[in-house]
Amino acid sequence: MVNYKELGLVNSREMFKKAIDGKYAIAAFNFNNMEQMQAIVQAAVETKSPVILQVSSGARKYANQTLLRYMAQGAVEYAKELGMEKPQIVLHLDHGDTFELCKSCIDMGFSSVMIDGSHHSYEDNIALTKKVVEYAHQFDVTVEGELGVLAGVEDEVSAEHHTYTRPEEVVDFVSRTGVDSLAISIGTSHGANKFTPAQCTRDANGILIPPPLRFDILEEVEKQIPGFPIVLHGSSSVPQDLVAIINKYGGAMKDSIGIPEEQLRKAATSAVCKINIDSDGRIAMTAAIREFFANEPSKFDPRQYLGPARESLKKLYMHKIVSVLGSADKA
Ligand SMILES: [Zn+2]
């Protein structure tokens, strides 16, 4: 059993309070490997931003939970080495689905966990979330709950349709569970195909324009629980220039579409203080690697293609921090 404080990590409490007061949001970036972790830390240090390192169930299976925890510990030391005196780094479990999983992450040094009971009945979601909160708070670990279901596919989390968060439930859910933050469903979704073409319109160039997020639901939630930290999952924007590079060099990403960055920027100025971005990072790495392979068919050293992929990822993350979430210079 190790407490995250011994590893130099922080929980999300102070971070979220400052983000709401300062009208910005913190990026939660997922990582499965060293290059992603390096890109996240480099971007956070260069922009002087707090950041959330996020571990999904897919990442735990791919990379091993213990290894990921040590990498997060390494991330803190790496940030210091890069010149950040007091790194503000959260290690967060994304979409925890059982009490046992959340407990195991808390026991091995995670500073924050999500318990996603959104696929259960309302009462079962409350019971499960409350149980995790009671355990986590003994160790000052913060807990994110979820009300409403996002459409899309992300690792093992998938749903065909949105179930928007019902604002009339949030006061009851938050007070009975004791959660520290709440993920809500207002039209964001997991994956790189967030909407079907039928749900969108097309502009003059044939680019899909998605339906807008349900800011009316967000506003109603904020009215019910003023100043309470809200989280948005599935908030990649699926940059069309990167998708075009992928498709130019042999890829086949069809009708990919994300959440326009202006809408996320608007959300970041509200009580939304954590925004999850995963697919965009995958797309940035893949575009860089496909381009490299197409142009340098004789090269075979993984560092030669993972290096540019890491660079492209870092550039994307810095852009998100500075121009979309607004968390630069807040660490
Ligand atoms: Zn999610």
* Residue 155, pLDDT score: 62
What angle (nearest 5°) sits at the alpha carbon of residue 144, between those of residues 92 and 57? 45
Q: What positions carry a catalytic annotation?
A: 94
pTM of the entire structure? 0.95
End-to-end CA distance of the chain: 28
* Residue 215, pLDDT score: 96
Ligand 1 centroid to residue 95 C-alpha, Å:
6
Q: What share of the chain is helix, strand, coil (3-state, %, to 5)?
A: 50, 15, 35
| Residue 93 identity | L
* Distances from the Cα of 5 to the Cα of 2, 16, 73, 96, 292, angstroms: 9, 18, 10, 21, 41
* Distances from the Cα of 144 to the Cα of 224, 250, 309, angstroms: 18, 39, 31
Classified as helix, coil or strand, 232 is: strand
Ligand 1 centroid to residue 126 C-alpha, Å:
19
Contact 30, 320 (CB under 8 A): no
Residue (of 137, 132, 56, 73) closest to 108 by Cα position: 73
Helices (H) and strands (E) in the chain, counts: 12, 12
Ligand 1 centroid to residue 281 C-alpha, Å:
14
In order along its 331 residues, the chain shows pLDDT tens digits of 999 999 999 999 999 999 999 999 999 999 999 999 999 999 999 999 999 999 998 999 999 988 999 999 999 999 999 999 999 999 999 999 999 999 999 999 999 999 999 989 999 999 999 999 999 999 999 999 999 888 776 665 666 677 899 999 999 999 999 999 999 999 998 999 888 888 888 888 877 888 899 999 999 999 999 999 999 999 999 999 999 999 999 999 998 899 999 999 999 999 999 999 999 999 999 999 999 999 999 999 999 999 999 999 999 999 999 999 999 999 9
**Tokens encoding 210:** 């998605």
* Distances from the Cα of 48 to the Cα of 51, 81, 168, angstroms: 10, 14, 38
* Residue 160, pLDDT score: 67
Ligand 1 centroid to residue 293 C-alpha, Å:
31
Which helix (H) or strand (E) element contains residue 29? strand 26-30
Ligand 1 centroid to residue 190 C-alpha, Å:
6
